[in-house]
Structure 1
Amino acid sequence: MFSLCLGGFFPQSKDMHDVAMIELGPVEDGGSYIEELMELTAQSLSRLEIQEHFNVIKEIGRGKYGRVLLVTHRCRGTPMALKVLPKASTKLKGFLREYCISLRLSCHPCIVGLFGIAFQSDEHYGFAQELVVGRDLFAIIKPRVGISERVVKRCAVQIASALEFIHRLGLVHRDIKPENVLLLDTQCRHVKLADFGLTQKCGTLIRFISSTLPYMAPELCAMVPDAGQETPKAPPLSIQPSLDTWAFGVLLFCILTGFFPWEYCTSTDCFYEEFAEWRQNPETTEVPSQWMRFTPACMEMFAKLLALEPNDRSTADVVKGYVGKDWVRPKCPNGLMGENGGVSSMTTMSSPCRSSPVLQ
């Protein structure tokens, strides 16, 4: 099976939380490497027709922004994934940004590679990427169960390495979720981060968003305008790596449990409110039921990744210090979990999150 989720392409079965329109303010440092690369690419962008240079095998992805095609190069026979975006709905600058950012990042072993082929036809912009034959991380998550801790830790270390590289270059991915982690094998010994359609430089301003995803940090969810308003009450938000750190923490929860911890990080979501109250008063507030399956060491890691204040969040690579520790409490014969593996009357494996949304 071929699987690729790039630049806003999402499998139709996962569209429940997939749409989030974001208006961006100007990037302050216009003389950066990415902007220079965009300018050079614009000047040398090849003009070609897809059918003349590629054999189209089949479509492997479709989304609001265009299509992803499985193709082979007519001369070399090389298989690749061709991302094609219609000019009618794609700005040249947006296309160039995604391509140049993807190209800059593609040298990392845990990030999807590029062939360095960017072009325009009469109706489309396009570029060629490495073809990852396999599934994405979302596809192997069992609802209400998740993935084994051993496999999760493999994923965590590789994703953290990719994020560390992205952030070191002054960029923020902004769309960390299981659908954008591609698997080269079913045991996740090698995974690759994909989809840089929303990636921006640190310091780019977000003025509003029109909808929320479970992976969005609370400060990002605050950018949704109230009903009847055109702009949110919150001032423009500066994009920072802490947004990726939060999303990474939510991703780890999802793949360990098969649940979303909440639907959105606002006061109207009771699961987020329960979590926020516990984080603000950990000594006097009971641990929310859906978090009781995790060991103290794992909860310490989550507390660093999911700190409510952006400035208090750790970097993604903090997970590397916890891979040698247990993350999930052992399960008792009766299915209950408790402190140090003991029995708890608060939660069961069959209903760990009450009505918390299930990944499916």
Structure 2
Amino acid sequence: MAESSDATAAVTAAPTVLDELLEITAQSLVRTEVAEHYEVIRELGRGKYGHVVLVTHRQRGTPMALKLLPKASTKLHTFLYEYCVALSLATHPAIISMFGIAIESSQYYGFLYEPALHKDLISIIKPRDGIPEPAAKQCAKQLVSALEFIHSRGLVYRDVKPENVLLFDPECRRIKLTDFGLTRPKGTKLKLVAGVIPYTAPELSNTTDAQGVPIDTSLDAWAFGVLLFCLLTGYFPWEQSLPDDPFFEDFMLWQETGLEENLPRHWKRLTAEAALMLRSLLALDPAKRGPVGGALRYVDCPWRLEDGCSEGAAVKP
């Protein structure tokens, strides 16, 4: 009963804690040009909203990753929110560590965190092959721990995908989640504002509610299931979680019947245990969807058959 009360308190407190941290950070934002204190070594990554560069501190020589978001296309509140969420979660070993430094230059907002020099998970997924099963299980265990930690803080991560899993060694013994721009408190009402992608849960893909859908941790369970499928096969289970996608239509039939004869053809390289694990994480009804931690029940079972079919939309770095 105490654990349940603590979890409820965390969900209730999440928006208040973030608001307080936002206010404090806005007052202590360091105004400086990047070149004054940091030497840019090379670019580590680039996304839709900004880019990340490897820098060293000019006096101390400390290597750091610096995420830069253009002021021309980024609201100050948006930047501060992402930074504060990341800062509030950074104590977990499978979440990126922060240096606690947020800056504003003439052109950018930025913050500094530990650099991951082995790139991200998408860089090692071989199309139509995936990654070695031991590495996939290492990823699963660490991601479950990170996501459960985020959920315990009353938050939903909302951006589980290989690009947001940073590698600190090639065998995935040490990985970390990054990029918290989409993270929101549980219960926040959200509408689908972008196109449907493989990681989009069906309750968001098909929503017509103008008020939006109250989000919960089942969204992360769905995306986590899709990510595990990609790690084990090297391709997406479908391109869109919509009935008019033939791969998703086949999956819906199997989910409804549970019959082995209805298992989609491109799932046949998975063991029965792996299929059961994913069937739970990818339950069509979010109320029946298993939690991310359910994957841990299967880590001692084999997940992949070596002679299965390889047919689907390949995951490309």
Q: Give the TM-score taking structure 2 as reference length.
A: 0.91
1:246 and 1:59, CA in 2 relative to 1: closer, same or farther beyond 3 A? Answer: same
What residue number does 1:107 align with? Answer: 91
The match for 1:164 among 137, 143, 148 is 148
Cα 1:211–1:195 change in 2 (3 A) is same
Determine if the alignment matches structure 1 residue 244 to structure 2 residue 228.
Answer: no
Task: Please list, as runs of the form range in 1=range in 2, the aligned pairs for 1:82-161 lying within 5 A after superposition.
Answer: 82-161=66-145
Equivalent residue number for residue 226 of structure 1: none
Measure how far apart 1:123 and its partner are: 2.4
- Alpha-carbon shift at residue 291 of structure 1 (Å): 1.6
Q: Corresponding residue for 1:278?
A: 254
Q: 1:43 aligns with which of 14, 22, 27?
A: 27
Inter-partner Cα distance in structure 2 for 1:119 and 1:46: 5
Paired residue secondary structure (1:32): helix
| In 2, Cα distance between equivalents of 1:308 and 1:75 | 54
| SS of aligned partner of 1:103 | helix
Detail structure 1 runs of 4+ shifted over 6 Å in the superposition: 27-30
Q: Structure 2 vs 1, CA of residues 262 and 243 (structure 1 numbering), >3 Å: closer, same or farther?
A: same
How far is 1:62 from its partner? 2.6
1:311 counterpart = 2:287: yes
The answer (yes or no) to whether the contact 1:277–1:285 under 8 Å persists in 2 is no
Q: Relative to structure 1, is the Cα distance of residues 300 and 315 closer, same or farther in structure 2, using a 3 angstrom cutoff? A: same
Match of 1:176, SS state, is coil
Q: Deviations over 1:289-310 (max 9, x none)?
A: 1122222222221121111111
Q: Residue 326 of structure 1 aligns to a residue in which SS?
A: coil
Please tell me whether the aligned partners of residues 191 and 209 of structure 2 are also in contact (alpha carbons under 8 angstroms).
no
Structure 1 residue aligned with 2:5: none
Residues 1:293 and 1:64: Cα distance change in structure 2 (over 3 Å): closer
SS class of match (2:22): helix
Q: Distance in 2 between matches of 1:169 and 1:233?
A: 27
Q: What is the CA–CA distance in structure 2 between the aligned matches of 1:249 and 1:326, rounded to whole Å?
A: 16
C-alpha distance after superposition, 1:192-251 (max 9, x if no partner)? 11111211111111123231211111112124xxxxxxxx45751112111111000000
CA RMSD of aligned residues (A): 1.9
**What SS class does the counterpart of residue 127 from structure 1 fall into?**
strand
Q: Bigger shift: 37-46 or 284-293? A: 284-293
Deviation at residue 30 of structure 1 after TM alignment: 8.0
Task: Please report how far the alpha carbon of residue 148 of structure 1 lies from its aligned counterpart in structure 2 after TM superposition.
Answer: 1.7
SS at match of 2:44: strand
CA gap 1:300/1:64 in 2 versus in 1, 3 angstroms: closer
Contact kept in structure 2, 1:222 and 1:234, CA below 8 Å: no
Name the residue aligned to 2:175: 191
Letter in 2 for 1:296: A
Secondary structure of the 1:39 match is helix
Q: Pairwise mapping of residues 1-360 of structure 1 onto structure 2 (< 5 A)?
A: 32-223=16-207, 232=208, 236-283=212-259, 286-329=262-305, 331=306, 335=307, 337=308, 348=309, 352-353=310-311, 356-360=312-316
Does 54-63 or 66-75 show the bigger shift?
54-63
SS of 1:88's equivalent in the other structure is coil
Answer whether contact 1:155 1:191 (CA < 8 A) is retained: yes
**What is the distance in 1 between the residues matched to 2:185 and 2:54?**
30
* TM-score, with length taken from structure 1: 0.81
Structure 2 gap segments, 5+ residues each: 1-10
Q: 1:76, 1:125 → 2: CA distance?
A: 22
Would the aligned equivalents of 1:28 and 1:204 in 2 still touch at CA under 8 Å?
Answer: no
Greater fraction of residues in helix:
2
Runs of 5+ unmatched residues, structure 1: 1-26, 224-231, 338-347
Amino acid at match of 1:270: P
Distance 1:95 1:61, change over 3 A: same
Secondary structure in 1 aligned to 2:72? Answer: helix
SS at match of 1:187: coil
What residue number does 2:3 align with? Answer: none
Partners of 2:52 and 2:172 in 1: CA distance: 23
Whichever residue aligns with residue 277 of structure 2, its letter is M
